[in-house]
Amino acid sequence: MAKSYQNINQKVNAVIESVDITSSVPENGSYEAYGMRNGNHIVFSGKNKEGLEQLIDLVWKQNPEVYETHSREGVKQKLIDLICSCINREVKSEKKDIENIFKILVSSPAEQCEVFRPLYGAKLSSQLPIQLGIFTIYDFSKHSSLIYSKYPHPPETQEYWRKLLLHNQENILISVQLRGRDSERIQERAEKYFYQFDNIIRYMLAEGNIRFIYFDRDERFDIAVFEHYQKSMYQSILLSSSTNRFHTDLKIKGAGRLFDMNLPVFTDQRKGHDIIWKIHSESNPSEINKRVITAVEWIGKSLRDTDLARSFIQIMFALEALLTFREQGILISPSIASQLTEFAAFILGKNNETRLQIETKIKKLYATRSSIVHSGNSKVSKQELIEAIYMIKGLIAHLKIDPQLSTFQSMKQLQTWVKSKKYS
């Protein structure tokens, strides 16, 4: 750590040396200015502002405890205080100054907090809150006394709960518990987790929504904290001067039905849904588990997109995130398409016949992906979209449920297993 402190100290002094000291602040341009005791201003702009921003990122991300529990803005303020102090005193920063910043940051008390957000498109039939990984789902009309008992606050704060749920008639809340030293950082991390929740839920609702995609019916389910696909009315008027045509159109689009969070789809063991919540809760997931969550998120994002071509590309991103592997020290690697087909064929196929069928399907899907990306083709059939979703959901389920595959921690282990199957 001493070397890291020394490195940071050198960069702090480089910023101090490059800073502009002026009697007045610039009239335009991108800059930050801080007042000095003598009436002058310390101005960061251009290259030295860029250097300051890089320094802030370096310090913020240097210590995992600082990064997890403090906001970037809080770390920035500590550095600005040090830089301004050094300039005012006409001295250089020392390594002990950097050590002191980190000491202050990690010694300040941390607290456990629970962050709540409205959850749209959902209902809760149970009398108790439910737990999905790190997330808790509440029905505020049933569980408000439980929340109040956990976090006693003055009666006037109840008005904030009413405002929070103003547009959520079902009174459904989602929460995540996080440890932190800075409210802003806790909210930032909670927001990231809630976005991940949305993607995981859409992944789990995929089968239920596929039939709506196939039959071109816009009645799909959607549960979300952000960007809920709520039911909306779309109206238009068509006019023609040549035929005096006057035509009106009215369509209702969006998720109009509520989905019960108590239904077993969210913990379905056959599809590995229960394991996905466990993986998402891991503080230090294995390489394969990281890939599984990334693939799940891409599927979730794709199902929010109403453009079939864009949706299909994101589904193929999920496949690549799950199975693309470049072995270190190997100069000649197989193409992405051949690697994907081989891995998928052996994970899903029980014999040569089914493996060949899977290989053919993957190649067709990848050819469609290439035509969209490289040739500008925007035509994707609903059947291709559905096949791709089922394929990747099947791969994830096999990787996490199969007695042997579920023990693998790394892609190297999976590759070795594929090779043994291939040449046995």
Give me the pLDDT at residue 218, please. Answer: 52
Q: What is the dihedral of CA 87, 93, 99, 104, to 10 degrees?
A: -10
Q: Are 405 and 414 in contact (CB under 8 A)?
A: yes
Helix 352-375 and helix 308-323, axial crossing angle in degrees, nearest 10 = 130
DSSP string computed for 88-141: HHT----HHHHHHHHHHHHHSPPEEEEEEEE-BSEE--SSS-EEETTEEEEEHH
Render each residue's pLDDT in the chain as its tens digit; 424 residues.
777 999 999 999 999 998 888 888 777 778 888 888 888 889 888 888 999 999 999 999 999 999 999 999 999 999 999 999 999 999 999 999 999 999 999 999 999 999 999 999 999 999 999 999 999 999 999 999 999 999 888 777 888 888 888 878 889 999 999 999 999 999 999 999 999 999 999 999 987 666 555 445 455 678 999 988 776 667 888 888 788 788 888 776 666 678 899 999 999 999 999 999 999 999 999 999 999 999 999 999 998 887 888 999 999 999 999 999 876 655 445 678 888 999 999 999 999 999 999 999 999 998 888 889 887 777 888 888 889 999 999 999 999 999 999 999 999 999 999 999 888 7
What is the CB neighbour count within 10 angstroms for residue 296? Answer: 27
Q: Are 155 and 292 in contact (CB under 8 A)?
A: no
Give me the pLDDT at residue 5, please. Answer: 92
Q: Are 229 and 304 in contact (CB under 8 A)?
A: yes
The sign of the dihedral angle between the CA atoms of 205, 211, 212, 216 is positive
**Which amino acid appears at position 52 of this protein?**
L
Give me the pLDDT at residue 332, please. Answer: 47
Give me the residue spans of the domains in the chain: 2-107, 109-267, 270-423
What is the CB neighbour count within 10 angstroms for residue 424? Answer: 5
Chain center to CA of 203: 13
Chain center to CA of 306: 19
**List of residues 6+ apart from 175 with CB closer than 8 A:** 114, 115, 116, 117, 135, 136, 138
What is the CB neighbour count within 10 angstroms for residue 20? Answer: 16
Give me the pLDDT at residue 412, please. Answer: 93
Q: Are 123 and 258 in contact (CB under 8 A)?
A: yes
- The residues pairing with 417 across neighbouring beta strands, listed in sequence order, are none
> H/E element holding 334?
none
CA 136 – CA 261 distance, rounded (Å):
11
Q: Are 51 and 74 in contact (CB under 8 A)?
A: no
Backbone φ and ψ for 401, nearest 5 degrees, come out as -110, -35
Cα Rg of the chain (Å, integer)? 27
